[in-house]
Amino acid sequence: MWNDDSPREACGLFGVYAPGEDVARLTYFGLFALQHRGQESAGIAVSDGERIRAYKDLGLVTRVFTEPVLQSLEGYIAVGHTRYSTTGSSTLRNVQPITCSTEQGNIAVAHNGNLVNAHILRMQLEAEGEQFESTNDSEVIVRLIARALDEDDDIVNAIRAMMRQVEGAYSLAILTPTQLIGVRDPFGVRPLSLGRLDDSWVLASETCAFPPIGAEYVRDVLPGEIVVIDASGLRSYEGLPDTHEALCMFELIYFARPDSHLYGRLLYEVRRRMGRLLAQEHPVEADLVIPVPDSGTPAAVGYAAESGIPYGDGLIKNRYAPRTFIQPDQRLREQSVRLKLTPLREVIAGKRLVVVDDSIVRGTTTRQIVRLLFEAGAREVHMRINAPPIRFPCHYGIDMATQRELAAAHHTVEDVRRQIGATSLGYLSIEGLLKAAGQPRHRFCLACFNGEYPIPIPEDVELVKEIFETPFASSRAT
């Protein structure tokens, strides 16, 4: 995959309960709208009221699901998943939704997030005889629900039993033969929204998945809530009583699409507001404001509007380069940004540039961008970042880096500026970020900025992607 140092999301979820509709096709379009949340694999599970059928494979949504595949997935309830791996390697055995048989029938589960105690739970389950088929933490959730269902045929009670054991971030779309269920962890770290399609119901990681299928946003699934949809309609249950809202701030900064809504606000406007506040906090004399496309664009628009400096496009993005599976040779790997971005020399030559981007993780990509702009004739390059310095790793579903790899973890802003070669460097403050979001601090997880983790992290285990890796035989699930 593309070798850059941007933060990476875990995955996108979609679910639909729609008798009389082609739910596999609706899920396909929903996943297509959520493709930005994960590009490694995709899967759809469908129920016709008795049997659950699933199809999943590595690759983009448009490659995995052909017309014959969609036609074979008949039913009236479906869940779908598009993945970027945070626990478990990118192999076929780890593709979701994960299906499992129980005494009450099969279930299929799609998970967005990351568990911090999955290693402990998995060892306990294996000691009790459970045979795991994947190396991701999501299967721990599925096995716990299945075991609870074997003792109690009430799916809500089974989910509650799972929630009492797992710790970490999880939004879930669960399929039973007759039900669609949405679940959100007690902290609400990962988003999950509820939509309406005529008389039917839809679940999605982001509201941007609703318009392509004609659905309308209703509300967010609440932290700790279980939403059950079946022939009786929609019912809400309390999963765990002790909840504390801590939505990942990076959803607002980078992950969610700018046409999605979080906390009732359009994210394009939130990011544009970030740019305005960035201009207030870090003004500079310059000739042109340009974004690092596409994630820096709304903030760059805001920076230009607040500062009065003209806005322009100075970098053109090759939208196919980031997803190539062909690895560049060493020379190109060291200058990999050239495969992704092309400077407009006639636009930037001789100019003092303000360059707006969403974040700096390791700093390698930013350094290459700065070098590229200077080589194209820029006189000055003032980097402006619409996020605070990332000083701590995420353990809740973002694959960004270990702390020792983070550029700002052990270096001052001036140190990072020298490392990337910029004329100046300015980050948006946490206070500015919260002001742009229009929400109080307690509603967000800010751990990657301030190290205050809302869910405690075990001290004795390094949470790495390959923690469960063992030799497995790959086989396509059907």
Q: Which of 11, 208, 248, 448 is catalytic?
A: 11
β-pair type (52-58, 247-248) = unpaired
Structure tokens at 121: 């739970």
- The CA-atom distances, in angstroms, between 14 and each of 26, 68, 217, 385, 459 are 9, 21, 13, 31, 34
Q: Which sign, positive or negative, has the C-alpha torsion 251, 258, 315, 305?
A: negative
Closest CA to 43 of 153, 177, 154, 175: 175
- The CA-atom distances, in angstroms, between 289 and each of 285, 297, 350, 376 are 11, 10, 14, 16
Closest CA to 15 of 192, 199, 165: 192
Structure tokens at 31: 């996943």
Closest CA to 187 of 454, 458, 457, 399: 454
- Is 285:352 a contact under the CB 8 Å cutoff? yes
- Is 259:267 a contact under the CB 8 Å cutoff? yes
- The CA-atom distances, in angstroms, between 294 and each of 208, 290, 367 are 17, 11, 18
| 13 strand-pairing partners | 81
- 11 counts as catalytic: yes
Catalytic site residues? 11
